[in-house]
Structure 1
Amino acid sequence: MSGPDRNARRAWAYLSAVAEPPCAPVIALTEDVGAVEAADRIRTRRLTDGDVDVLEATRARYAVDRSAADLEACERRGGRLITREDAEWPAWSLLALDQASTAARGGAPLALWVRGEHDLAEATQRSIGIVGSRAASSYGDHVAGRLGADLASAGWTVVSGGAYGIDGAAHRGALAAAGVTIAFLACGIDRDYPAGHARLLAEIGRRGLIVTEYPPGTTAAKHRFLTRNRLVAAMSSAVVVVEAGRRSGAANTAAWARRLGRPLGAVPGPVTSATSVGCHQMIADGQAHLVTDAASTAALAEPDGHDPQPPSSPRPTDDLSPSQFAVIEALPARGTLRVDEIAFGASLPADRVRAALAILELRGLVVCSGGTWALAR
């Protein structure tokens, strides 16, 4: 990497860490004067009266420059820093975060730390987020794993948060189907969180992507999970909640999906399950579409709005007249009846029963034997 490129990369790394992300004032300054100049102004406090927000946001960290160490730590883990100037920056996916209605609560990130060989912009062009409870039931694990595998087999990138429960099941399902999956972390890219998912995260980093806006060394914290959730929603063409309590991180991700205009689906669960209360509430309130499989999930994100269920095969009785259908219904599953018995059961005159039976016999639906009638087998 040449000198100017190295300086620019270090400037982006410094800006990534100088304020708790996402920091709108730092991003605005960077877009106004460029990363190198923005980093220099913040580091030297050479800011104008119009940059009061930048001064305040960077007051605690401006004197600490770990950019070189952060870039080295990232490279040691096989990662890279992606900035708004890079070709693989997912600008289209992140556009919604910069809209006026959402920027105040969490705009697009300044930069992203990424592990994995896939191009981030390409991987998120056709992606579906699967989120849910950490304390997932066996039912939830099964559904999330099946969704992850089936969606990955159909060419969708499976996006989630790398957590225990539903997140992990979705990631594993996608990997089992040899598909691409992305885990968004609420900590530095050099941290395996949760620790119990170290092997899973390593596999995702090898075959998919691990993404975070936090520089190396950053520890996980509750507010960072909530901040991370907006990226899961933004980087997904649609979001599906498999299991969720009434108040949960998954419900927060679902709220972000609605705020960003991403289609939202929810999987119904047992009415006795506390981990499905949130899903049932979203469906009942009309906030989420009921989904049960990969086809209905993918239909949320498809632009053509096609019916996710294939048309069912026509039944022999589909186009019967009311009289013909009444006669069919009056015949027992086993045994035979006389015309007068059928007329009584169907509440029809005998002549109409005979006319209906004639048509039904021609269609091979009933048979006559010894003056009695039965369903064809």
Structure 2
Amino acid sequence: MTGVGDPDDELLGRIFLTRVLEPGDEVAGRWVRELGVGEVVRRLRGEGAPLAGVSEKRWAGMRARARLVEPERDLEAAGAAGVRFVRPGTAEWPGQLDDLRDGRPLGLWVRGPAGLRMWALRSVAVVGARACTEYGAHMAVTLAAGLAERGWVVVSGGAYGVDGAAHRGALGAGGATVAVLACGVDRPYPRGHTRLIGRIAEQGLVLGELPPGDHPTPSRFIVRNRVIAALTRGTVVVEAALRSGSLVTARAAQRLGRHTMGVPGPATSAQSAGVHELLRGEATLVTDAAEVVELVGDMGELAPDRRGPVLPRDLLPAGVRHVLAAVPGHGDATVADIARGVPTTEDDAIARLYELRALGYVERHGDGWKLTRQAMISLRGGRDVC
């Protein structure tokens, strides 16, 4: 490594630490914050006393890893693969990751042409079940495409199921997407998504905390999710069982003060049970991209009002509608009966009835009034009939 005080010392030190320390290690993050990168590297190389907060066994494991690390070689290999290392304090570093405090990444390995910091400023996470249903895949594609069309960056984990559908939805709309991996960005995982992750690297960004060549483990998937949550303005969970890893992302988003959203599914679906638990708590129900943007976007980016079709009777004045509602659905009624049903005077009722007759809603039969066939069909069409 370069000498103390060299401008590259911080860069190589952080690359060294990505090989030695596990992502999200808050004890190690405190070492870096309190002592600085250079001192932590020096101790791990055996110069000085062991650092506090870990067992002898764990410290020995870190030291064993440290003996094998060559950060210059990692940096050279990354450059050859079109991968760069983005660290805190540089122009491309997304400041919102600092919200993770001592759990903040030491840096991110990034593959792709776009600027990470600018993309992260207007991004939304779309996550969910790997074994998603057709409904879940459809909703993920539709949401991601809608967000991309509105100029939002879709962030997900590159996995099978909802993640892959979200990436494809954004790409298909010609939009921007980011895959956050739990392994080295030069070895896509899962293998079945090699082509997809390659497309993301060409059109978007692929990033991760682990250095080139590193493999994923179950714990690395879990801690990776905090990066997805912190990087984005909000997290949408499309489908999730009660033990889904995507719920970890949602809970991390909640802890960080980000928006947390869920797409509802059938009440009988085990793949939506985790989402429904979120919705019973602090998460917000969303069904399309406009509703997501209303939460995470700027003031005035409102979703359209949801309402049923406007029927001709909806345009009637209130007094006329009340009289119409008092005319029975079967048989006929006298003016006095109708007036009592409103309630209003008989003179007012008969005036409204003649107005309704002119519009084709009612007809007179002797002393009684009844609905026309046209009105029966119109009223039935606007009601919930069991």
Name the TM-score class by shorter chain. 0.7 to 0.9
Does residue 1:47 correspond to 2:36, yes or no? no
Report % sequence identity. 40
1:319 CA drift (Å): 7.8
Counterpart AA for 1:59: R
The correspondence of residues 86-125 of structure 1 with structure 2, limited to 5 A, is 86-91=90-95, 93-98=96-101, 103=102, 107-125=103-121
1:94-147, Cα deviation, whole Å (9 max, x unpaired): 13211xxxx4xxx11111101111111111101111110000000000000000
Q: Deviations over 1:250-282 (max 9, x none)?
A: 111111111111111111111221101111122
Separation in 1, partners of 2:203, 2:312: 49
1:241–1:266 Cα contact (<8 Å) kept: yes
Mapping 1:39-78, distance limit 5 Å? 39-43=41-45, 45-48=46-49, 51-53=51-53, 57=59, 58-78=62-82
Indicate the residue corresponding to 2:382 in structure 1: none
Distance 2:264 2:76 in 1: 45
> Could you report, residue by residue, the CA deviation over 1:293-351 in whole angstroms, capped at 9, with x for unpaired residues?
11111122135376423375876655867653232235689x99786498299565643
Match of 1:260 in 2: 256
Stretches of structure 1 lacking an aligned partner (at least 5 in a row): none
The residue matched to 1:61 in structure 2 has which SS? helix
**What is the 5 A alignment of 1:146-295?**
146-283=142-279, 285-295=280-290
Q: Give the SS at the match of 1:277.
A: helix
Kindly tell me: are residues 356 and 152 of structure 1, through their superposed partners in 2, closer, same or farther at Cα, counting changes over 3 Å?
same
Cα deviation, residue 66, structure 1: 2.9
Query: Aligned pair in 2 of structure 1 residues 365, 70: CA closer, same or farther (>3 Å)?
Result: farther
SS at match of 2:108: strand
Measure how far apart 1:224 and its partner are: 0.3
What is the match of residue 13 of structure 1? 15
In the alignment, the residues of structure 2 paired with residue 280 and residue 33 of structure 1 have an alpha-carbon distance, to the nearest angstrom, of 44
For 1:233 and 1:78, the matched residues in 2 are separated by 26
Give SS of 1:113's match: strand
Deviation at 1:24, TM superposition (A): 3.7
What corresponds to 1:308 in structure 2?
Answer: 303
Matching of residue 141 in structure 1 with residue 142 in structure 2: no
Give the Cα–Cα distance (whole angstroms) in 2 for the partners of residues 38 and 61 of structure 1: 14
Q: Provide the residue aligned with 2:381 in structure 1.
A: none
Matched residue SS, 1:143:
helix
TM-score (norm 2): 0.82
**Alpha-carbon spacing, 1:67–1:361, altered in 2? closer, same or farther (3 Å):** farther
Letter in 2 for 1:169: A
Q: Show the counterpart of 2:84.
A: 80
**Amino acid across the alignment from 2:138:** H
Task: Measure the CA separation in 2 of the matches of 1:138 and 1:108.
Answer: 36
Paired amino acid for 1:308: A
Shift of the 185–115 alpha-carbon distance from structure 1 to 2, 3 Å rule, reads same
- Output the amino acid matched with 2:25: C
Structure 1 pair 354–78 and aligned structure 2 pair: CA distance change class (3 A): same
For residues 12 and 193 of structure 2, the distance between their equivalents in structure 1, rounded to whole angstroms, comes to 30
Amino acid at match of 2:52: V
Query: What is the Cα deviation at residue 6 of structure 1?
Result: 5.0
Cα separation, 1, equivalents of 2:201 and 2:328: 62
State the shift of 1:217 in Å. Answer: 1.5
- Name the CA distance, whole Å, in 2 between partners of 1:153 and 1:325: 42
Residues 95 and 319 of structure 1: CA distance in aligned 2, closer, same or farther (over 3 Å): farther
SS of match in other structure, 2:192: helix
Give the Cα–Cα distance (whole angstroms) in 2 for the partners of residues 319 and 5 of structure 1. Answer: 73
AA partner of residue 14 (structure 1) = F
Amino acid across the alignment from 1:96: D
TM-score (norm 1): 0.84
Distance 1:301 1:47, change over 3 A: farther
Q: Does 1:23 align with 2:17?
A: no
- Partners of 2:353 and 2:338 lie apart in 1 by 11
Number of aligned pairs?
Answer: 363
Code of the residue aligned with 1:22 in structure 2: it is G
